[in-house]
A and B are shown apart, each in its own frame.
Chain A
């Protein structure tokens, strides 16, 4: 009986996120982190989700955010040597808010360029204003939630030094330290990366004193079109006691989103067909 459990588990996730050349060869920490980045942010050529955030502050006051997120990966360049599905390059994000009411139809457009500053635009419908905005502040709150901009679009894996500190039956435990300490508020963070799927199940951020002050937890995972996908997650600020719980609904991959959706034209005119 005790063996059935891990076996079922392995069979269920038939798509190995990391190509392993035989079971005897353990992946390196760089391979693990790259695979986690791919599974977390790059599954499929594109994707869509209806995203709800529930923000509860330390006093128990509750706020909500609702948005549609469209994502498209920029295909690898012609001279790219590796497998196309392993490519983790530039990405385009289209984020249109529905709630709260005062930001209804407000839209973010992000061209993510790993290792460089992203290009970001903000569309304010009441003014018909397309404002290009600074992306220097990557670790500030995303729309008042406990998530940072960088949590939403993915932190560049080259920004940190990664070290595999433990391999358990279930997880690779990776500790990461920033290369540029001045640019971040953490001293280190530890990720529990699920071995079978390479989903990040938990992250603990530590301050200079080594104290955990911020945690991420994946609360619900499902398989969508063959891709293991986080469907519910929570970010907790242990200092303020605030939490943000995010749920992803109507998740779909490989929709064939056209590249031109991610342009100023579609900030003014929402791509209704693709947002459902």
Chain B
């Protein structure tokens, strides 16, 4: 009897469907009830139903070994080659394996994080670790302790990667160290950010937030020395590389050669507003020691602001920065970078109107030299002058395909004023949750040998990579 009743309930719709006047769709059998509805199911006890996070069975025993130790990370193997010959560099641009190991744990009230790469890099001659440049067999990415001493205050001390600002691969008020070598030779984008050894303090209020980063000893960019990437050397009046490896004078007095970066930020009616200050030095060589011919890192203060908001389904941003080159106030010192005013305007949006999972971004960036007359009149003979204003347009196109397994992207910088360009095509395919493979390139074009991107023309490269994440 009961069964008959249930059958009638479940298939009642079928019987109704035979009535001709019923609208379409009514005649189909209605869905059965899911588990927990319509039967005397046990109410869920939210406490006892907690199941521990299970680790998926791993295919590769090595990753299980690290997982058992509470370590996460990846194994990344990549190789690249120049596409044109460069008389000052090796033809191989990349040949390395990295084992990233990360550890994070809470020792109330502290959170400890360590992330290190064990590196086998065939293109460096020495295995000796250099903690500042990241060279050698170990590259320490993070070793930090974070805590919240007061409810509104966060403090993080130690080696850490720091980022702020609104640009996409353009940095105005982010004066934290960058690794240009990694960026240009085809390491993963995360390596563009080099770590800082710093104290970060954030005070978070209802209206505004203040973050201050103190770096007691200057952390320069991982700048171009010529060892891996050739560049235009103004002293030689030509490109140079391994024939004239740069050994700059890096200020390294703990406490005296320090840096301070600060950001005051808040949200006003959907506009994310921020003001920035930086008191430190040019992050890549910005001057020349006349006596020795060595590159230097002159003093630099930067003041800036940014705004970011949603606009027509996309994200619009504006950022400005005034680069106050403290050792060349008038612009008449030919051996120190002039001051600059930098402006960035950007817009990024998904374009479901054209295709799903398609994102396009455009940025316009201008770098205006201050004291250009003084710069030109004191520029030593033989050094090609730069323009007063350098204009750059960037474009990013990203498309995800095959259920987001395949990611195809192109990022390009084009400078109409310098007549040069830098393209970063990248295709990444996720074989499964653990393995991915990447093919990419770094392609430089330029009419002249000395412009910002044009100087790297002989470094154009393609690379392949495989990564196992665990």
Contact = CB atoms under 8 A, between A and B. Distances in A.
A128 B313 contact: no
Interface string A138-166: 11110110000000000000000000011
Contacts of A190: 25
Contact of A139 (B146, B202, B313, B356): B356
B340 to A, nearest CB: 24
- Most A-side CB within 10 Å, residue of B36, B41, B317, B357: B36
Contacts of A126: 161, 190, 193
A19 interface: no
B272 interface: yes
Interface string B319-338: 00000000000000000000
A133 B31 CA distance: 38
B404 interface: yes
Contacts of A140: 350, 352, 356-357, 400
B204 A265 contact: yes
A16 interface: no
B432 A61 contact: yes
A139 B40 contact: no
B9 A218 contact: no
A251 B44 contact: yes
Interface in A208-259: 210, 217-225, 228-232, 240, 242, 249-252
Given A55-B403, A165-B25, A272-B106, A132 B33 contact: no
A55 B162 CA distance: 34
Interface in B160-209: 160-164, 189-190, 192-193, 202, 204, 209
B35 interface: yes
Nearest to B63: A101
A137 B204 CA distance: 32
Contacts of A268: 154
A20 interface: no
Contacts of B314: 134, 136
B34 A219 contact: yes
Contacts, number: 204
Contacts of B43: 222-223
Interface in A115-130: 117, 119, 124, 126-130
B290 interface: no
Contacts of A192: 30-31
B434 A101 contact: yes
Contacts of B433: 63-64, 99-102
B457 interface: no
Given A134-B349, A143-B404, A8 B40 contact: yes
Contacts of B308: 132
A91 interface: no
Given A170-B9, A222-B41, A2 B313 contact: no
Interface stretch (A32-40, A71-79, A80-88, A193-201): A193-201
Interface of B: 1-2, 5, 9, 12-13, 23-26, 30-31, 33-38, 40-41, 43-44, 46, 49-51, 53, 56, 72-74, 106, 111, 146, 148, 154, 160-164, 189-190, 192-193, 202, 204, 209, 265, 270, 272, 308, 310, 313-315, 317, 348-353, 356-359, 400, 403-405, 430, 432-434, 436, 467, 469-470
Given A100-B469, A173-B26, 15 more contacts: A2-B1, A2-B5, A8-B40, A101-B470, A102-B74, A102-B467, A104-B72, A119-B310, A133-B348, A135-B350, A138-B352, A201-B31, A201-B34, A263-B204, A265-B204
Interface of A: 1-2, 5, 8-9, 12, 50, 55, 57, 61, 63-64, 66, 98-102, 104, 117, 119, 124, 126-130, 132-141, 143-144, 165-166, 168-171, 173, 175, 182-183, 190, 192, 194, 197, 199, 201-202, 210, 217-225, 228-232, 240, 242, 249-252, 260, 263-265, 268-269, 272, 276
In order of increasing CB-CB distance, the 8 nearest A-B pairs are A136-B313, A221-B36, A137-B350, A222-B44, A144-B404, A100-B433, A126-B190, A101-B469
